[in-house]
Amino acid sequence: MQIEKYTVDELNHQQAEKHQRRFEGVASDINNLDEVLQKLSAFNIAIPSWALGTGGTRFGRFSGGGEPRSLEEKIEDVGVIHALNKSSNSISLHIPWDIPDNAAAIKALAAQNGLHFDAVNSNTFQDQKDQKLSYKFGSLHHVDKAVRKQAVEHNIEVIKYGKQLDSKALSVWLSDGSNFPGQLNFRQAFQNTLESLQEIYAALPDDWKVWVEYKPYEPNFYSTTIGDWGQSYLLSSKLGPKAQTLVDLGHHLQGTNIEQIVSLLLMEGKLAGFHFNDSKYGDDDLTVGSINPYQLFLIFNELVEGMDARGMDHATSIGWMIDASHNVKDPIEDLLQSVQAIKIAYAQALLVDKKALVAAQNNNDVALAQEVLQQAYRTDVRSLVSEASLRNGGALDPIGAYRKLQIRENLIKERGLKTVATGL
Ligand code: RM4
Ligand code: MN
Ligand code: MN
């Protein structure tokens, strides 16, 4: 489904006065307004191909209507998201859930929707139909060399698909681990993983990166072979400069100070990027910013500060992606909400008075440091995000526009009520 630009313009027109009033109220207090708007306009967040259908839990799956039935339809859905928010100009594919059979046609369709391809993701956490050896006891860390080889070859095949689509990164998440004490030799599991990743690394094109994702538990509940940022960092350091650590916000134990992890990985040039989501307990994959928007802001504060310290381009030097999966929301609405939440946190971080913060830190003025941070956090930046979207040709209110344009109703008409997208 293609969105006609004039329909978005019409909606924007109806809201123009109200928007202008709000925008001027906030804008008058911002010294570097143009810079903030430019940075917001340039900022894009990739959409994962597996988040466009209604996700399931291990108990059930309640599909919504009009879900994409093919990779082509997934690309069209991301096209809808991008047409509304002008901040989601790429899609990240999970292989083999979304194999591009005809890469040239898929690329052309993406380009037609203003999209390109972000990282490609391998999957050795499930057995596929007709697969020779099982991943029941792991993949890259497996005790059996033949299983490791099969998993390595899968990753190399994923790189091949990615090359056809002009992706520039392979994202690896392993469920490898153990459920019971004694099941695994930790050192052996780590060494096997390293060796397997080295083989994958050797197959990476020069201008590619491999992103090593970590997660503390689930589906294994005693140990995970790449369980935290230390283990991922160790692997990516041993692998070399093309390997970096990927931070998925839901992959931390409760109470972990994620912003501190981010700050140090960035300092070491080892932060690959993000899988954004939110969670209350674990890998809940909830809408970004729905549970703890303050944490999201604190992470962005470290990102902006750390990237500026290294002279990095905010928009392009690391990978920005959503990794969420919903079972009760319309997936497109959820993704639109997530992108908005990310842009809000980013805008707030751009408003932090850095000079004042550094001065407060150097004077051990703890109360003032908090005031400075919360001054930015408590600014209602939503009209700045709307203005950036407007200047890019998007909607002032993407979710409102999605509803007013009755996009889901149209997708249901087009695709039917009972469709199921591939993914989790
Ligand atoms: C995992 C992890 C990976 C994602 C899969 C679907 O928990 O977050 O990034 O590829 O889920
Ligand atoms: Mn993830
Ligand atoms: Mn996850």
pLDDT digits (tens, 9 = 90+) for 366-406: 999 999 999 999 999 999 999 999 999 999 999 999 999 99
Q: Which of 248, 245, 160 lies closest to 210, judged by CA?
A: 245
pLDDT digits (tens, 9 = 90+) for 68-99: 999 999 999 999 999 999 999 999 999 999 99
Count the Cβ atoms, other than its own, within 10 Å of residue 297: 24
Q: Which residues surround ligand 3, an ion (CB under 5 A)?
A: 283
Q: What is the pTM of this model?
A: 0.97
Give Cα 109 distance to the centre of its chain. Answer: 22
Is the minimum distance from the CB of 285 to ligand 1 under 6 angstroms? no
Match 């967040």 to its residue by tokens: 45
Which listed ligand is nearest to 93 at the C-alpha? 1
The full DSSP string for 152-202 is HHHHHHHHHHHHHTT--EEEE----EESSTTS--HHHHHHHHHHHHHHHHH
Helix (H, G, I), strand (E, B) or coil at 89: coil
Q: Which atom of ligand 1 is nearest to the CA of 423?
A: 6
**216 preceded by cis ω (within 30°)?**
no
Q: Which atom of ligand 1 is nearest to the CA of 250?
A: 8
The full DSSP string for 198-234 is HHHHHTS-TT-EEEEE--SSSS-SSEETT-SHHHHHH
Helix (H) or strand (E) holding 246: strand 243-248
For ligand 1, mutation pick of 93, 213, 286, 322 (most atoms within 8 Å of CB)? 213
Q: Decide: 333 and 399 in contact? Cβ < 8 Å.
A: yes
pLDDT digits (tens, 9 = 90+) for 283-292: 999 999 999 9
Q: Which of 179, 82, 73, 49 lies closest to 398, judged by CA?
A: 82
Q: How far is the CA of 216 from the centre of ligand 1 (A)?
A: 12
**What mean pLDDT is reported for the chain?**
97
Q: Decide: 284 and 209 in contact? Cβ < 8 Å.
A: no
Is the minimum distance from the CB of 228 to ligand 1 under 6 angstroms? no
Residue 326: per-residue pLDDT: 80
Q: Which of 328, 350, 324 lies closest to 81, judged by CA?
A: 324
Protein residue with least CA distance to atom 9, ligand 1: 173
CA distances from 225 to 139, 184, 211 (A): 11, 10, 15
CA distances from 275 to 121, 137, 319, 325, 375 (A): 12, 25, 9, 12, 27
Is the minimum distance from the CB of 67 to ligand 1 under 6 angstroms? no
Protein residue with least CA distance to atom 5, ligand 1: 173
Residue 57: per-residue pLDDT: 83
Q: Which atom of ligand 1 is nearest to the CA of 424?
A: 6
Q: How far is the CA of 418 from the centre of ligand 1 (A)?
A: 25
pLDDT band for 141, please (50, 70, 90 cuts): very high
Helix (H) or strand (E) holding 321: strand 319-322
319-322 vs 209-213, strand pairing mode: unpaired
269: region left, alpha or beta (phi > 0 left; psi from -120 to 50 alpha): left
pLDDT band for 330, please (50, 70, 90 cuts): very high
Q: What percent of the chain has pLDDT over 90?
A: 94
332: pLDDT strictly greater than 90 = yes
